[in-house]
Amino acid sequence: MRLFRMISACCLLWAAQASAGLEKFDFSGNVDEDRYKELIAEIRCLVCQNQSLADSDAELAHDLRQEVYELMDKGQDNPQIVDFLVYRYGDFVLYNPPLKPSTYWLWYGPFALLVLGIIMLIKTVRQRGKQTDTGFSAQEQTRLDKVLGKDGDDSV
Amino acid sequence: MPRFVRYLTPLVAFLALAGLLFKGLSLDPRKVPSPLIDKPAPAFSLTRLKEPEVVLSNADFKGKVTLFNVWATWCVACRSEHPVLMQLARTGKVAIYGLNYKDEREAAKQWLVRFGDPYVANAFDADGRVGIDWGVYGTPETFIVDQQGVIRHKHIGPLTQEIVRDEILPLVQQLEATSG
């Protein structure tokens, strides 16, 4: 898809100059700089999806940083700002997806697989413990014992 | 555990995983479902592109099914979408409104003169604030808003004849039928 390729190319271009792109905000007033930086690092830029708002130099990321700054300036707390963004863009803007029925697989799936794996491991180990049959015939066993020197008879 | 179950389990597990991954191949990660579907269209009030002294707001959408198209002159894909909108406008089957997103007024007006104007009217969103309220993250995007002003559908990326025929028009007809 041409659109996709173009956007990828733009993302790469933007990434190259990303460090230069961050706008300067005035943190002397209401807005705590550390809180601002922490918040924009947790929000995904929907244009360059593998970048956070803090990293992205996409046009939309500029606008959203401005928006986040202004909301903070108005005295909104982090959950309120996150709600503002999620209402518009969905859970996808969050790097840390919320726990709810549609994300149960995401959160509990790996643990379910881990438990399944442990159960299978225990079963397999127990089964092996019970196995006495080595799979060798009597003749092969005798030869093997000889090779290993268990027999003590070196004459053959 | 019967022997065939033991042997089939890995096969079934493999096929399930393969099926999941195969489905993933056909998904476009850029198409993020909008949380605004089935919610009232975000309120806005902007100047019209061609008549800066007249306001266009979502009140103008009331009472009819509306196609709300987000576009800009700097958007390459919008250019390829434009003939599709022109053709749709000619059929008169749905009212097409536009959100001219983060654009320059003169450039946008010239574009409409040059390529034709499929829009009933355009809202001029210079700073992209209304775009943010509508969850716009890439142009072009197209919303279908019903008579009650509720967003029913969002298409991300350029519209094509096929999409208009298979998705947009059937939905418009269905929405028009439900209100009577």
**Confidence band for A20, pLDDT divided at 50, 70 and 90:** very low
Identify the pLDDT of residue B156.
Answer: 92
Q: Rounded to an integer, what distance in angstroms lies between the CA atom of residue A89 and that of residue B133?
A: 9
**Confidence band for A13, pLDDT divided at 50, 70 and 90:** low
Query: How crowded is residue B31: how many other Cβ atoms within 10 Å of its Cβ?
Result: 12
pLDDT at residue A106 greater than cutoff 70: yes
Q: Rounded to an integer, what distance in angstroms lies between the CA atom of residue B51 and that of residue B86?
A: 21
Which residue of B102, B135, B157 is in closest CB contact with A88? B135
CA distances B113 to B81, B101, B117, Å, are 16, 18, 7
Check CB contact under 8 Å for B127 and A3: no
User: B3, B11, B1: which is closest to A123 by C-alpha?
Assistant: B1
**Running along chain B, 180 residues long, what does each successive block of 10 average in pLDDT?**
80 93 87 88 94 93 94 94 96 95 94 95 94 92 94 94 95 85
Is B83 within 8 Å of B24 (Cβ atoms)? no
State the nearest Cα–Cα gap between B19 and chain A, in angstroms: 17
Identify the pLDDT of residue B29.
Answer: 80
Residues 65-84, chain A, touching B (beta carbon < 8 A): 67
Strand partners, B45: B57
CATH 1.10.8.640 fits A2-98, yes or no: yes
Pair of tokens at residue A72? 């903070």
Identify the pLDDT of residue A109.
Answer: 93
Give the rounded distance of the alpha carbon of A146 from its chain centre: 55
Give chain A's length.
Answer: 156
Pair of tokens at residue B119? 């829009």
- Which residues of chain B make contact with A1, given a CB cutoff of 8 A? 28, 157
| Superfamily of the domain at B35-179 | Glutaredoxin (3.40.30.10)
pLDDT in tens, B27-43: 888 788 888 999 999 99
Does A156 contact B at CB distance below 8 Å? Answer: no
Which residue of B29, B128, B137 is in closest CB contact with A89? B137
Check CB contact under 8 Å for A47 and B138: yes
Check CB contact under 8 Å for B135 and A89: yes
Question: How would you classify residue B116: left for phi > 0, otherwise alpha for psi between -120 and 50, otherwise beta?
Answer: left
Identify the pLDDT of residue B129.
Answer: 93
- ∠ CA A122-A126-A131 to the nearest 5 degrees? 150
Identify the pLDDT of residue B32.
Answer: 83
Give chain B's length.
Answer: 180
Does A106 contact B at CB distance below 8 Å? Answer: no
Return the domain boundaries, chain A: 2-98, 101-129
H helix or E strand, kind and range, residue B71: strand B66-71
> Considering only A11-25, A64-78, B151-165, which range has the smallest mean pLDDT?
A11-25
User: B152, B144, B142: which is closest to B38 by C-alpha?
Assistant: B152
- Which residues of chain A make contact with B32, given a CB cutoff of 8 A? 46, 89-90, 92
Q: Rounded to an integer, what distance in angstroms lies between the CA atom of residue B156 and that of residue A11?
A: 18
Check CB contact under 8 Å for B135 and A63: no
Identify the pLDDT of residue A47.
Answer: 87
ipTM exceeding cut-off 0.90 for this assembly: no
Which residue in A11, A48, A60, A82 has the most chain B C-beta atoms within 10 A of its own C-beta, making it the best mutation to test that interface? Answer: A60
For residue B169, the number of C-alpha atoms closer than 13 Å in the C-beta half-sphere is: 15
Check CB contact under 8 Å for A7 and B137: no
Mean pLDDT, chain A, as a whole number?
A: 83
Check CB contact under 8 Å for B135 and A2: no
Does A64 contact B at CB distance below 8 Å? Answer: yes
Which residue of A3, A4, A88 is in closest CB contact with B132? A88
Identify the pLDDT of residue B6.
Answer: 79
- Which residues of chain B make contact with A103, given a CB cutoff of 8 A? none
Structure-token match 């894909």, residue found: B77
Percent of chain A with pLDDT over 70: 80
Identify the pLDDT of residue B1.
Answer: 60
Is-cis flag, bond preceding B10, omega within 30?
Answer: no
Check CB contact under 8 Å for A90 and B158: no
